[in-house]
Amino acid sequence: MSIAMRDVFLIAWRSSRRTMRQPAAVIVPLTFPLILLAVNSNGLKAATQLPGFPTHSFLAFFLPFAFIQGALFAAMTAGTDLARDIDTGFFNRLALTPLRGMGLVVGQLGGALTQAFLQAIAYLAVGLVLGVHFASGPVGILVFLVLALVIAAAWGMTGIWIALRTGSGEAVQSQFPLLFFFMIISSMNLPRNLIEVDWFRDAATINPVSYMIEALRSLVIEGWNVQALALGFTVSIGAVAVAMGLASIALRKRMTRT
Amino acid sequence: MADEHGIEVWSLVRTFKDVHAVQGINLRVEPGEIYGFLGPNGAGKSTTIHMLTTLLPPTSGTAFVAGFDIVKDGPAVRGSIGAALQEAALDPYLTGREHLRLQSGLHGIPKREREERGDELLTRVGLTRAADRKVQTYSGGMKRRLDLALALVHRPRILFLDEPTTGLDPQSRNALWTEVDRLAKDEGVTVFLTTQYLEEADVLADRVGIIDHGKIVAEGTPEELKATIGRPTVVATPKQAEQLEHATAILERFGEPTRASPGATAVMLNGKGDLADVLRALDGEGILVDDLRLHAPSLDDVFLAKTGRMLEGEEEQSE
């Protein structure tokens, strides 16, 4: 194992272990998206009667949102934990070892991705048990999980960037309602072509979160929609790249060691 | 350039906007020496230690730690030093053993040696029984001992300790002093220790540097520094409060008045007599004394003389 890989593994190991030992950091991200899934798939199922609605199952339509929301929770945990490390001086302890700065960032992200992956398996299992059928088949399920993890990486890196920039757990948590707002003004509840309010449809169209959800959704209810997948992967990978760039700038300012 | 186990500081300066935290300090720490860096909160101790451990770039000047330039050879410096900085920075959700596993892994200690090294250090700092408990259940003293063990994982030749005993009970403080002393005396580890406790510097340090407002105002062995003050003080507490003024007048024949606690009087002896002479004079004029003592110069006196104020009991201010 290379030194860089070893560092990433050790930081991810520590991050995962720490998360798993905080019941609130495990239970809330696991259950809250499933509760919202249960509420919305029941309360909004009348939407499937709308002309042009792409499926008869609102559960299948809404399932991808659980993955996006769960990833956001995992990112919040990763960001808050890193901010706490900065606040308590643990970050300085790590800075005094030969650990490379990006090793810390990627390792921390690895912890968030581990959590997001375990959550994703749980959401997927619940969806399949409740009768959700993946139109893209077993390979589509794998692609779905890969995309869900890329989206989790985008959120996770955003959380890490905010933590490095502010050094405050409270600041990290205060940013997340804003990110949650981005999720709400997307196509999470309705396909964009069925949103009748102009400003909302426009907002959903320029909102990258819509393309993440639509790519995941396409694998569940449409099969292989290359355009939706290309857009979803491009937007998600782009978000990872932008957040990683911002995080590396914040890291340079935060980790001032010579 | 400093010896491979020593520290040499050249005109080190650090400013934060308008705050001149460290103002051109120079010092040298010999290999195997325990150097006590003494000063009140806000004097520049932690800023200095952050620069010497490469966590904070100096505004100007430099230092050589273990023979490496802290500005140009940061990674080499970090590979040679261990540090336990202010407030034991530990993860409350990890166990002591897991901390050691993480730290030794990041220092590149081969996997097969990590457990062995961890066990050795846990034994040395007396945490074997608590090794598999989460750190959130540890006392302040246990956290400090784990902090020290983590700083020693990669067998550094130079150890930086930033106020290692602040907030500890006397028993934990003594245990830590013993271990630090053993490291220096038995293993030849060079120790740079900041403290705001005079007793700590006096007991532990081979040499002491006093920093105030970012400048070193005195440096030497504790004995040398006390010798600069020179004269002992006689403190007398009359049995009857109304005799205090009379007792003060008698004492002033033997030296200059100095600070004393309420109900007592004190002079710094000027060589015209000793304790026995003072006692005879008091007795001769019918002054009954409750307490009479000779107070040898302490580092507190040195600090008072060099900075114009007492160190312990200083109003706390963040650095």
Q: Which residues of A touch B78 (CB under 8 A)?
A: 96-98, 257
B95 - beta bridge partners? B134
Using a CB–CB cutoff of 8 Å, tell me whether A99 touches chain B. Answer: yes
What single-letter DSSP state applies at residue B86? S
CA distance A240 to A154: 4
Q: What is the mean pLDDT of residues B78-82?
A: 93
CA distance B4 to B282: 59
Using a CB–CB cutoff of 8 Å, tell me whether B112 touches chain A. Answer: no
Using a CB–CB cutoff of 8 Å, tell me whether B159 touches chain A. Answer: no
Residue A159 Cα, gap to closest chain B Cα (Å): 20
On average, the pLDDT of chain B sits at 89
> Does A113 score more than 60 pLDDT?
yes
Say whether A90 and B75 touch across the interface (CB within 8 A): no
Q: Of the candidates A88, A90, A95, which has its C-beta nearest B55's C-beta?
A: A95
What single-letter DSSP state applies at residue B39? -
- pLDDT-based confidence at residue B1 (cuts at 50, 70, 90): low
Q: What is the mean pLDDT of residues A67-74?
A: 92
The CATH architecture annotation of domain B228-303 reads: 2-Layer Sandwich (3.30)
Using a CB–CB cutoff of 8 Å, tell me whether B98 touches chain A. Answer: yes
Q: What is the span of the domain harbouring residue A111?
A: 3-254
CA distance A80 to A18: 12
A–B interface: beta-carbon pairs under 8 A: 73
User: CA of A116: how far to CAs of A74, A109, A113, in Å?
Assistant: 6, 10, 5
Residue A11 Cα, gap to closest chain B Cα (Å): 8
**What's the pLDDT at A178?**
84
- Where does CATH 3.30.70.980 sit in chain B? 228-303
Using a CB–CB cutoff of 8 Å, tell me whether A2 touches chain B. Answer: no
**What's the pLDDT at B311?**
64
Say whether B105 and A88 touch across the interface (CB within 8 A): no
Say whether B83 and A99 touch across the interface (CB within 8 A): no
Residue B225's nearest CA partner among B251, B206, B249 is: B206
> Does A31 score more than 50 pLDDT?
yes
Pair B210, B226: CB distance under 8 Å: no
Using a CB–CB cutoff of 8 Å, tell me whether A98 touches chain B. Answer: yes
Using a CB–CB cutoff of 8 Å, tell me whether A10 touches chain B. Answer: yes
Q: Which residues of A touch B74 (CB under 8 A)?
A: 257-258
Q: What is the mean pLDDT of residues A74-88?
A: 91
Residue of B nearest to A20 (CA): B93
**What's the pLDDT at B160?**
96
Classified by CATH at the fold level, domain B7-220 comes out as Rossmann fold (3.40.50)
Say whether A256 and B56 touch across the interface (CB within 8 A): yes
**What's the pLDDT at B316?**
41
> Does B110 score more than 80 pLDDT?
yes
Q: What is the mean pLDDT of residues A163-179?
A: 88
A145 or B261, higher pLDDT: A145
- pLDDT-based confidence at residue B318 (cuts at 50, 70, 90): very low
- Where does CATH 3.40.50.300 sit in chain B? 7-220
pLDDT digits (tens, 9 = 90+) for B248-299: 999 999 988 887 888 999 988 887 777 888 999 999 999 999 999 888 777 8
**What's the pLDDT at A200?**
95
- Percent of chain B residues topping a pLDDT of 90: 62
Residue B53 Cα, gap to closest chain A Cα (Å): 8
Residue B237 Cα, gap to closest chain A Cα (Å): 48
Q: Of the candidates B54, B102, B108, which has its C-beta nearest A257's C-beta?
A: B54
- How many domains is chain A built from? 1
The predicted complex's ipTM stands at 0.87
> Does B3 score more than 70 pLDDT?
no
CA distance A176 to A161: 13
Q: Which residues of B touch A85 (CB under 8 A)?
A: 91
Q: What radius of gyration, in Å, describes the C-alpha atoms of chain B? A: 23
Q: What is the mean pLDDT of residues A125-132?
A: 94
Q: What is the mean pLDDT of residues B25-41?
A: 92
Q: What is the mean pLDDT of residues B32-57?
A: 92
